[in-house]
Structure 1
Amino acid sequence: MRLAAKVEKIDTSPTLAITARANALKAEGEDIISLGAGEPDFSTPTHVKEAAIKAIEEGFTNYTATVGIKDLREAICDSIKEDRGVEYSSDQVIVSSGAKNSLFNAILALVEEGDEVILPAPYWVSYTEQIKFAGGRPVVVDTLEENGFKLTVEELKQAITPKTKVLILNSPNNPTGSVYTKGELEKIAQVIIEEDLFVISDEIYRKISYEAKATSIVSLGEEIKKRTVIIDGVSKAYAMTGWRIGYGVGPTKVIEAMARLQSHSTSNANSVAQKASLAAIAGTQKPTEEMLKAFDKRRDIITDVINDIEGMKANKPKGAFYLFVNIKDLLGMTVKGRKVEDDLTLAELILEEVGVAVVPGTAFGKEGYIRLSYATSEEDIKEAISRIKGFVELYS
């Protein structure tokens, strides 16, 4: 049997593969600490769970409109107005089965065969595969560590060709934790407007920003707003990864196209989860604020201990809950007769030898790095880094 070529060229998600491998080892009785998953270790807030229970008890278990219930879409608009200072109407919002689903819909709605999509590296693993599925070509721009792994306006201009259609921007960023400043975004927005391009702004980590509220590119004026689709959701900010609710917000024409796609694929997102998400977005934000405080404390801990390991160094993240660690000085060392030639090998050995799951930077388009998630307990973070330190000191 021959599968469709568009599916054959898509790679499996490396982050999910690492998590699956770690879980398999745990099931075999191995003592594994995972710093791989991008999933808060907190429980979904009580008032959100209660809203879901109420929805079930009241029989809210049928199909909804493809784009989502109006109350939720209006709450999303209210949240964006309050948080970003930008107004949208409910018909400019589509609720999907997770932010990944929203992103996929947006890419399929905007990207045609042969279109180029500019993608700053390091990047989230699914961007490239979704672009390829749509028939587009990812144009990867290798950003610099000394620039905080952020796309500069000069790099953007150099990457633009007559085939360029879209820029994907992710701030706060996965895997680096970098956050674009207002000034940096203003320069990027000006180029986008001048070149008549489109931006997909992945803001799923927006509420997990430590030193200042992250600026959204749509807040910089009507012209850039007309060229931008925001991707967001409840997974990260409200510890609701398994509820699978994300959303896209943007120009009516694009949202209508995304809705047509969704009507023939997933249809509406889970009805009960929509009611829970309404409670999350429109209700108290205190649980999110408490979660942010915990992440901030963990951020300090993991950054300090990693930078204390010879051969490892990392910038302190300003958002999200990841540390992107430079391990280039460890390449070439030998572990039990096996030479560490790249970050893939190092990640495998760290898991096999000391039972800590990390994600190689190659998965994010950046060789010579590993990503550590600190969306886990302080105890696990300290134990995991202690194991990694012992591993490095033994073999380097």
Structure 2
Amino acid sequence: MSASATLAATFLSDRISALQESQTIAMAKKSRELAAQGHNVINLSFGEPDFQTPQYIKDAAKRALDEGYTKYTPVPGYVELRQAIADKLRRENRLEYQCENIVVSTGAKQALANAVMSMVNPGEEVIVLAPYWVSYEEMVRLAEGVSVRVMGSLENDYKATAAQIEEAITPRTKLIMYSSPCNPTGAVFSREELADIAAVLARHPQVFAIADEIYEYINFEGEHVSLAEFDEIKDQVITVNGFSKGYAMTGWRVGYLAARKEIAGACEKMQSQITSGTCSIAQRAALAALEGGRSSADEMVTAYHRRRDLVLKLVKEIPGFKTPTPAGAFYVFPDVSAYFGKKAPQGETIENATDLAMFLLNDAHVAAVTGEAFGAPNCMRFSTAAADEKLREAFIRIKDSLEKLV
């Protein structure tokens, strides 16, 4: 360790030293570095729509500037936006909430962090349904909680069952965290599956659930079901959503949560000491997004569906990849363990998915994310949020590179 690194280890907090960098952001950084060297890198590591924000939303942001929306905003968000969110939840999700139940945050990631930090005491357990989004366990770590992974099987599209969840509950369990549609697998919990999970929660009223629904609109197979729809456990559920995926508003950073009044108030208190209210212009744009309906989102979903089918066809041509069919989101998440133990042309051995991801980045110039980041070390995540021609080229390169392994 260098002298500067040794010094840093003495003045940085244990909290930050224990925190892992987001693997999706780390791989995107590496791919940018390779591209800066002149290589044609196809980046399938980032979960970001390749579409532009719809024009009517951008126009609303411009109007907001002209209308003087340049001041601090209320910590939980403009009341008009919170009312529009409440109306959306009632109309589309059959959920009855008032403005006081809703907190608008700087992205769904902040809404998730607010909820975890507001709910979890040191040593309390959080059941994380795996494979999971990369930041869940790190948020629990920041709260000094203990993550308990419950892994879904490949045969069940990586969806954990209610029986698995109930078996993992202990007297120290505080929360369950999951996403549906799921990042990274694209799995979608059915109404029957969520009803079974709701029945478990009803038997354990001291346990709460964070339902991450950020990919709600990107659903290829059927209805989206919110866990909070089940009345007997509604007060045990914190529903998180936002505008980044469905409306291609990643850079605007607007998310929200809906929960019982006490939890929403706690999240508002937490946010008041960290960021205060979300950007005024972004909130006005988000309001316009909701008022404009779902037609632009549905057009993007049509493209995502086509790309999913394209990528599944391409992946099936790669020997050794075992890939469930994603029902939503914009990822494929194959089991790639058939390549572990093989040697690359330079002589190095592919020990795990992280090694394979680095090999593909350096040899195929395709960036993906190791499944270790999602709690599934046999897998890799490839984003399908890219143009069709880029996806074709990427998987041709991947297949060619994998054929070099012996």
TM over 0.5: yes
CA contact (8 A) 1:203 1:231 kept: yes
Show the counterpart of 1:345.
355
1:284 Cα offset (Å): 3.1
Amino acid at match of 2:362: E
Cα distance in 1, alignment partners of residues 16 and 44 from structure 2: 29
Show the counterpart of 1:63.
72
CA contact (8 A) 1:358 1:372 kept: yes
Whether 2:22 is the aligned partner of 1:13: answer yes
- Partner-residue secondary structure (3-state), 2:148: strand
- Partner-residue secondary structure (3-state), 2:166: helix
Amino acid at match of 2:375: G
Cα distance in 1, alignment partners of residues 28 and 291 from structure 2: 32
Show the counterpart of 1:89.
98
Amino acid at match of 1:267: S
Alignment of 1:1-396 (within 5 A): 1-196=10-205, 197-221=207-231, 223-336=232-345, 337-396=347-406
Q: Deviations over 1:129-153 (max 9, x none)?
A: 1101111100011221111111111
Cα distance in 2, alignment partners of residues 393 and 151 from structure 1: 34
1:109 Cα offset (Å): 0.8
1:394 Cα offset (Å): 2.7
Cα distance in 2, alignment partners of residues 108 and 153 from structure 1: 25
Cα distance in 2, alignment partners of residues 394 and 2 from structure 1: 46
Structure 1: tracts of 5 or more residues without a match: none
Q: Deviations over 1:237-295 (max 9, x none)?
A: 00000000000101000000000111111000000000000011121321101000000
Q: Deviations over 1:198-225 (max 9, x none)?
A: 000000001110110221111122x211
1:2 Cα offset (Å): 2.2
Decide which moves more: 4-13 or 170-179. 4-13
- Partner-residue secondary structure (3-state), 1:339: coil
Show the counterpart of 2:5.
none
The aligned length equals 395
Cα distance in 2, alignment partners of residues 167 and 101 from structure 1: 17
Q: Deviations over 1:43-99 (max 9, x none)?
A: 000000000000011111100110000110011011111111111101100000000
Cα distance in 2, alignment partners of residues 341 and 318 from structure 1: 30
Cα distance in 2, alignment partners of residues 136 and 278 from structure 1: 35
TM-score normalised according to structure 1 size: 0.98
CA contact (8 A) 2:157 2:325 kept: no
Amino acid at match of 1:369: C
Amino acid at match of 1:354: A
Cα distance in 1, alignment partners of residues 75 and 214 from structure 2: 21
- % identical aligned pairs: 39
Cα distance in 2, alignment partners of residues 386 and 208 from structure 1: 26
TM-score normalised according to structure 2 size: 0.96
Amino acid at match of 1:388: I
Amino acid at match of 2:340: L
Cα distance in 2, alignment partners of residues 238 and 366 from structure 1: 29
Cα distance in 2, alignment partners of residues 233 and 349 from structure 1: 34
Cα distance in 1, alignment partners of residues 188 and 130 from structure 2: 14
Cα distance in 2, alignment partners of residues 157 and 273 from structure 1: 40
CA contact (8 A) 2:130 2:151 kept: yes
Cα distance in 1, alignment partners of residues 264 and 17 from structure 2: 29
Amino acid at match of 1:244: R
CA contact (8 A) 1:79 1:282 kept: no
- Partner-residue secondary structure (3-state), 1:238: coil
CA contact (8 A) 1:172 1:319 kept: yes
Cα distance in 2, alignment partners of residues 11 and 271 from structure 1: 31
- Partner-residue secondary structure (3-state), 1:313: coil
CA contact (8 A) 2:132 2:178 kept: no
Q: Deviations over 1:106-130 (max 9, x none)?
A: 0011101111000111110100011
Cα distance in 1, alignment partners of residues 258 and 33 from structure 2: 38
